Amino acid sequence: MTAEIVYQGHLRCECTHLQSGTIIETDAPTDNRGKGERFSPTDTVCVALATCMITTMGIRAADMNIDLTGTTIQVKKHMLAEPRRIGKIDVTLNLPAGIEPKTQEIFQKIGDNCPVMKSIHPNLIVEATYNWG
Protein backbone atom coordinates (compact mmCIF):
# COMPACT_ATOMS: atom_id res chain seq x y z
CA MET A 1 0.00 0.00 0.00
CA THR A 2 1.22 3.53 -0.81
CA ALA A 3 -0.94 5.79 1.35
CA GLU A 4 -3.71 5.89 3.88
CA ILE A 5 -6.33 8.61 3.56
CA VAL A 6 -8.74 9.73 6.25
CA TYR A 7 -11.69 11.91 5.34
CA GLN A 8 -11.82 14.51 8.10
CA GLY A 9 -15.17 16.00 7.16
CA HIS A 10 -15.86 19.45 5.76
CA LEU A 11 -14.37 18.37 2.38
CA ARG A 12 -10.87 17.86 3.83
CA CYS A 13 -8.67 14.74 3.70
CA GLU A 14 -5.46 13.81 5.50
CA CYS A 15 -3.16 11.65 3.39
CA THR A 16 -0.30 9.73 5.01
CA HIS A 17 2.54 8.33 2.92
CA LEU A 18 3.09 4.98 4.61
CA GLN A 19 6.81 4.56 3.88
CA SER A 20 7.86 7.96 5.24
CA GLY A 21 4.97 9.05 7.43
CA THR A 22 4.74 12.34 5.53
CA ILE A 23 1.29 13.92 5.70
CA ILE A 24 -0.45 16.16 3.19
CA GLU A 25 -3.94 17.50 3.46
CA THR A 26 -6.37 18.36 0.70
CA ASP A 27 -9.32 20.71 0.75
CA ALA A 28 -12.02 21.42 -1.78
CA PRO A 29 -11.49 24.68 -3.70
CA THR A 30 -13.58 27.73 -2.90
CA ASP A 31 -15.44 27.43 -6.20
CA ASN A 32 -16.61 23.94 -5.22
CA ARG A 33 -17.85 24.42 -1.63
CA GLY A 34 -14.43 24.22 0.01
CA LYS A 35 -12.35 26.61 2.04
CA GLY A 36 -9.39 26.49 -0.35
CA GLU A 37 -7.01 26.26 2.61
CA ARG A 38 -4.97 23.37 1.19
CA PHE A 39 -4.17 21.94 -2.23
CA SER A 40 -7.30 20.61 -3.88
CA PRO A 41 -7.27 17.08 -5.31
CA THR A 42 -7.00 18.52 -8.82
CA ASP A 43 -4.13 20.78 -7.67
CA THR A 44 -2.26 17.66 -6.56
CA VAL A 45 -2.63 16.19 -10.06
CA CYS A 46 -0.91 19.28 -11.49
CA VAL A 47 1.80 19.22 -8.83
CA ALA A 48 2.32 15.50 -9.43
CA LEU A 49 2.87 16.17 -13.12
CA ALA A 50 5.38 18.98 -12.57
CA THR A 51 7.35 17.15 -9.88
CA CYS A 52 7.42 13.96 -11.97
CA MET A 53 8.80 15.91 -14.92
CA ILE A 54 11.69 17.42 -12.94
CA THR A 55 12.33 14.25 -10.94
CA THR A 56 12.77 12.09 -14.04
CA MET A 57 14.92 14.81 -15.61
CA GLY A 58 16.94 14.94 -12.38
CA ILE A 59 17.56 11.19 -12.51
CA ARG A 60 19.05 11.48 -15.98
CA ALA A 61 20.93 14.67 -15.04
CA ALA A 62 22.61 12.84 -12.14
CA ASP A 63 23.74 10.11 -14.55
CA MET A 64 25.24 12.84 -16.76
CA ASN A 65 26.85 14.76 -13.85
CA ILE A 66 24.61 17.76 -14.53
CA ASP A 67 23.08 19.68 -11.63
CA LEU A 68 19.50 20.88 -12.05
CA THR A 69 19.33 22.23 -8.50
CA GLY A 70 17.48 25.52 -8.31
CA THR A 71 15.09 24.72 -11.14
CA THR A 72 11.74 26.40 -10.49
CA ILE A 73 8.42 25.36 -11.94
CA GLN A 74 5.16 27.24 -12.25
CA VAL A 75 1.96 25.28 -12.80
CA LYS A 76 -1.41 26.68 -13.84
CA LYS A 77 -4.56 24.60 -13.85
CA HIS A 78 -7.52 25.33 -16.12
CA MET A 79 -10.79 23.71 -15.08
CA LEU A 80 -13.72 22.81 -17.32
CA ALA A 81 -17.32 22.89 -16.12
CA GLU A 82 -19.21 20.09 -17.89
CA PRO A 83 -18.14 17.64 -16.65
CA ARG A 84 -16.05 19.33 -13.97
CA ARG A 85 -12.48 18.27 -14.67
CA ILE A 86 -9.02 19.59 -15.46
CA GLY A 87 -9.01 20.72 -19.08
CA LYS A 88 -5.49 22.07 -19.39
CA ILE A 89 -2.28 22.28 -17.39
CA ASP A 90 0.41 24.85 -18.18
CA VAL A 91 3.84 23.89 -16.85
CA THR A 92 6.75 26.33 -17.07
CA LEU A 93 10.15 24.97 -16.08
CA ASN A 94 12.96 27.47 -15.46
CA LEU A 95 16.17 25.48 -15.73
CA PRO A 96 19.85 26.40 -15.29
CA ALA A 97 21.90 28.06 -18.00
CA GLY A 98 24.95 26.48 -19.60
CA ILE A 99 23.39 23.24 -20.77
CA GLU A 100 24.07 22.37 -24.42
CA PRO A 101 21.08 22.42 -26.82
CA LYS A 102 21.38 18.68 -27.56
CA THR A 103 21.28 17.91 -23.83
CA GLN A 104 18.33 20.29 -23.38
CA GLU A 105 16.44 18.26 -26.00
CA ILE A 106 17.18 15.05 -24.10
CA PHE A 107 15.84 16.54 -20.86
CA GLN A 108 12.74 17.95 -22.56
CA LYS A 109 11.95 14.56 -24.09
CA ILE A 110 12.30 12.97 -20.64
CA GLY A 111 10.02 15.60 -19.07
CA ASP A 112 7.44 15.21 -21.81
CA ASN A 113 7.39 11.44 -21.29
CA CYS A 114 7.49 11.12 -17.51
CA PRO A 115 5.23 8.49 -15.89
CA VAL A 116 2.59 10.99 -14.76
CA MET A 117 2.44 12.56 -18.24
CA LYS A 118 1.89 9.08 -19.68
CA SER A 119 -0.81 8.39 -17.07
CA ILE A 120 -3.08 11.39 -17.64
CA HIS A 121 -6.02 11.25 -20.03
CA PRO A 122 -5.13 12.19 -23.62
CA ASN A 123 -7.96 14.78 -23.68
CA LEU A 124 -6.19 16.76 -20.96
CA ILE A 125 -4.06 19.39 -22.70
CA VAL A 126 -0.57 19.91 -21.28
CA GLU A 127 1.54 22.80 -22.46
CA ALA A 128 5.10 22.52 -21.19
CA THR A 129 7.54 25.40 -21.61
CA TYR A 130 11.23 24.85 -20.93
CA ASN A 131 13.22 28.02 -20.21
CA TRP A 132 16.99 27.48 -20.11
CA GLY A 133 19.07 30.05 -18.25
The reply to whether 101 and 50 lie within a common domain is yes
Per-residue model confidence as pLDDT tens digits over 112-122: 999 999 999 99
Give residues with Cβ within 8 angstroms of 57, minimum separation 6.
68, 107, 110, 111, 114
The reply to whether 17 and 82 lie within a common domain is no
For the chain, the domain total comes to: 2
Range of the domain at 91: 41-132
CATH number, residue 106 = 3.30.300.20
Residue-level pLDDT at 4: 98
What pTM does this model have?
0.95
User: Residue 93: pLDDT band by 50, 70, 90 thresholds?
Assistant: very high
The reply to whether 19 and 49 lie within a common domain is no
The reply to whether 51 and 79 lie within a common domain is yes
User: Residue 11: pLDDT band by 50, 70, 90 thresholds?
Assistant: very high
The reply to whether 58 and 101 lie within a common domain is yes
The reply to whether 52 and 104 lie within a common domain is yes
